[in-house]
């Protein structure tokens, strides 16, 4: 079952509508008529409700309220329970920000090759980036984006004088976006200490990180604090979710103690200017190319990977996804319909590399 399913396609269009609304910076400029995708989606939802004799949302704000309060399996749609759960929402019930599920649905519906398009966000954002000949500079840029998901005026001034990333100052100026009002409370903005991204205000005295990795491990302590007047900018949502999150995992794997403990093993980060996340080469020349995929919904990841056409690269899922759902990999494989050995967790990747290393006559 792919997005040819009418109801799955419709809920994906609702997700695309929310993403489009989220990208509107100036709420004062938002007025009737609604953006075309929003109006079309609202019309289809209303028609579906009327056919099923259900009460439809009376307006676009009413539809947004559904996304905030109503799990997808409670909508008057025939959605597959093997894809969604009773907790599947498109907007976070506490903070109101887009859920990871929402962005994934929008990505899956909006592209013929959702994984390929997500992987080229860096290139799409900056014409000419792939013409950079220095692989080391490219890796420094990727590390900078991980280490500095939020910039203010002071950091932007410092970037111009930093040899490693200074040459990319034009890229950084266009890639980072002004932080919207949803991240501001009482004239201030706050980052998550764990990942460095901005946290959304929840209630009167709490904050929430959009990343499930931080929320599920309890790492939501306050990091840096800014005044709204400091021109705070951060990376766009698709970058944060499909590029920044996997990049953190790739960096962690590249520096994994058990890989570093294998003499002669070579680990390259983002070889070929980001063609893959990792290329691991044993002393006898056996290569494994690795791509990190950090998706909330394993069924949607399976659908997306089926469309990618990439059957040689190892697809690695962060361990915290497996800890939450031990059947995560099995679900991905079922919806991908391909070879189960293409998918593994971080921990399983380390074990596979150790096996390759030993089979080559190295180590114990």
Task: Tell me the H-state helices in 70-162.
Answer: 100-109, 114-119, 121-125, 135-147, 153-159
C-alpha 342/C-alpha 313 separation (Å) is: 7
Q: Which of 79-83, 124-128, 303-307 has the lowest mean pLDDT?
A: 124-128
Categorize the per-residue pLDDT at 206 as very low, low, confident or very high, splitting at 50, 70 and 90. Answer: confident
Q: Given this model, what pLDDT does residue 1 score? A: 43
Q: What is the pLDDT of residues 219-246, one digit of tens each?
A: 567 889 999 888 899 999 999 999 999 9
C-alpha 40/C-alpha 286 separation (Å) is: 52
- 264 pLDDT exceeds 90? yes
Which of 69-78, 113-122, 270-279 has the highest mean predicted lDDT (pLDDT)? 69-78
- 211 pLDDT exceeds 70? yes
Domain boundaries, the chain: 6-91, 128-236, 239-359
What integer is the mean pLDDT of 155-163?
A: 68
Categorize the per-residue pLDDT at 29 as very low, low, confident or very high, splitting at 50, 70 and 90. Answer: low
Peptide bond into 322 cis (omega under 30): no
Spell 154-179 as b/e; 16+ CB within 10 A means b: ebeeebeeeeebeebeebbeebbeeb
Q: Given this model, what pLDDT does residue 119 score? A: 72
Q: Given this model, what pLDDT does residue 57 score? A: 92
Q: What is the pLDDT of residues 161-177, one digit of tens each?
A: 665 665 677 778 788 99
- 210 pLDDT exceeds 70? yes
Q: Given this model, what pLDDT does residue 152 score? A: 85
pTM for the model: 0.91
CA distances from 79 to 201, 298, 305 (A): 31, 16, 21
What integer is the mean pLDDT of 304-329?
A: 89
Neighbours of 330 (CB within 10 A): 13
Which of 107-111, 145-149, 272-276 has the highest mean predicted lDDT (pLDDT)? 145-149
Q: What is the pLDDT of residues 53-91, one digit of tens each?
A: 899 998 888 999 999 999 999 999 999 999 999 999 999
Q: Given this model, what pLDDT does residue 279 score? A: 95
Residue-averaged pLDDT of the chain: 86
């Amino acid at each position: 079952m792919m997005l040819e399913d009418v109801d799955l396609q419709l809920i994906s269009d609702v997700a695309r509508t929310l993403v489009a609304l989220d990208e509107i910076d100036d709420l004062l400029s938002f007025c009737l008529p609604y953006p075309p995708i929003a109006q079309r989606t609202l019309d289809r939802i209303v028609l579906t409700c009327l056919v099923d004799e259900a009460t439809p949302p009376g307006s676009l704000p009413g539809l947004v309220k559904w996304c905030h309060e109503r799990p997808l399996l409670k909508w008057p749609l025939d959605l597959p329970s093997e894809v969604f759960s009773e907790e599947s929402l498109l907007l976070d019930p506490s903070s109101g920000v887009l859920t990871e599920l929402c962005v994934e649905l929008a990505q899956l519906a909006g592209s013929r090759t959702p994984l390929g398009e997500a992987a080229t966000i860096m290139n799409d954002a900056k014409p000419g980036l792939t013409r950079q000949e220095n692989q080391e500079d490219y890796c420094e840029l990727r590390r900078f984006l991980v280490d500095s998901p939020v910039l203010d005026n002071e950091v932007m001034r410092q970037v111009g004088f930093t040899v490693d990333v200074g040459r990319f100052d034009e890229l950084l100026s266009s890639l980072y976006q002004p932080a919207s009002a949803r991240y501001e409370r009482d004239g201030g903005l706050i980052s998550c200490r764990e990942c460095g991204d901005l946290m959304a205000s929840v209630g009167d005295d709490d904050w929430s990180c959009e990343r499930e990795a931080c929320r599920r491990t309890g790492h939501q302590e306050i990091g840096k604090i800014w005044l709204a007047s400091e021109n705070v900018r951060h990376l766009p949502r698709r970058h944060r979710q499909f590029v920044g999150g996997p990049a953190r995992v790739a960096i962690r794997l590249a520096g994994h103690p058990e890989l570093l403990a294998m003499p002669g093993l070579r680990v390259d980060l983002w070889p070929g200017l980001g063609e893959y996340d990792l290329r691991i080469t044993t002393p006898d020349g056996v290569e494994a190319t690795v791509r990190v995929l950090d998706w909330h919904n394993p069924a949607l990841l399976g659908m997306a990977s089926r469309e990618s056409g990439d059957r040689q690269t190892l697809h690695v899922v962060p361990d915290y996804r497996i800890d939450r759902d031990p059947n995560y990999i099995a679900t991905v494989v079922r919806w991908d319909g391909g070879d189960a050995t293409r998918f593994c967790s971080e921990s399983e990747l380390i074990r596979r590399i150790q096996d390759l290393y030993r089979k080559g006559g190295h180590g114990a």
